[in-house]
Amino acid sequence: MSYLDESYLTETLTEKQLCELTYNKSKSLDSLHNLKSSLSTFQYFTQDEFQRDKDQVLKDLVIIYKNNRDTKSTLILLQKFKNWLGEDHDNIITNCGHGGTKKKKAVSAITKKFYLEGVKKWIRLCGNIKIDNDDFRDLVSVKVSELTETESDPVNSEKHQVIVKEFLQQ
């Protein structure tokens, strides 16, 4: 009987590999920055709501998913994240340019959409939890009605600058 050593194979990416993949796919620093902003903001959320590191939350989601192959816990978590993004968080002080600080403020609907997509991608590729698009759309996604008229258009450079500016101000 031969022994097959599969220890070098993995089902998931590390966060570093995800960042490299994101950049290499589009050769866009903007895409990479959006992903990092999403994950940084998710870290604030998990610390604020659960006093847990985002990586520990992902590990917990993976355990739940492996036990029952259901993504309800993940979808509920993302719904909570979406709601959290829409609120001011005076208890969270972030650094901004020139050594200043700011309280974490609610973000626009378009920024919510980007953050949710970034975290969803991280959960899928780093946690191997694939969320059904219909379930995500029904339970989590930012609805067109939540977007202002200008936000419902495809993202352009100007909109990207708004997202970056909002993130840097938090």
Are 106 and 85 spatial neighbours (Cβ–Cβ below 8 Å)? Answer: yes
Count of structural domains, the chain: 1
Which of the four pLDDT bands, split at 50, 70 and 90, describes residue 10? confident
Closest to 38 in 3D by CA, of 101, 122, 104: 122
Task: Determine, yes or no, domain membership for 54.
Answer: yes
User: pLDDT (tens digit, 9 = 90+) per residue, 48-76?
Assistant: 999 999 999 999 999 999 999 999 999 99
Task: Determine, yes or no, domain membership for 20.
Answer: yes
Task: Determine, yes or no, domain membership for 6.
Answer: no
Our CA dihedral for 9, 11, 12, 14, rounded to 10 degrees, sits at -10
Task: Determine, yes or no, domain membership for 7.
Answer: no
User: pLDDT (tens digit, 9 = 90+) per residue, 152-162?
Assistant: 455 566 666 66
Task: Determine, yes or no, domain membership for 92.
Answer: yes
Task: Determine, yes or no, domain membership for 2.
Answer: no
Q: What percent of the chain has pLDDT over 90?
A: 58
pLDDT at 153: 52
User: pLDDT (tens digit, 9 = 90+) per residue, 107-154?
Assistant: 999 999 999 999 999 999 999 999 999 999 998 988 766 665 444 455
Task: Determine, yes or no, domain membership for 5.
Answer: no
Structural domain range at position 36: 15-169
Q: Residue 114, exposed/middle/buried by CB under 10 A (0-12, 13-18, 19+)?
A: buried
Residue 155 sits at φ, ψ, to 5 deg, of -70, 135
- pTM of the full predicted structure? 0.80
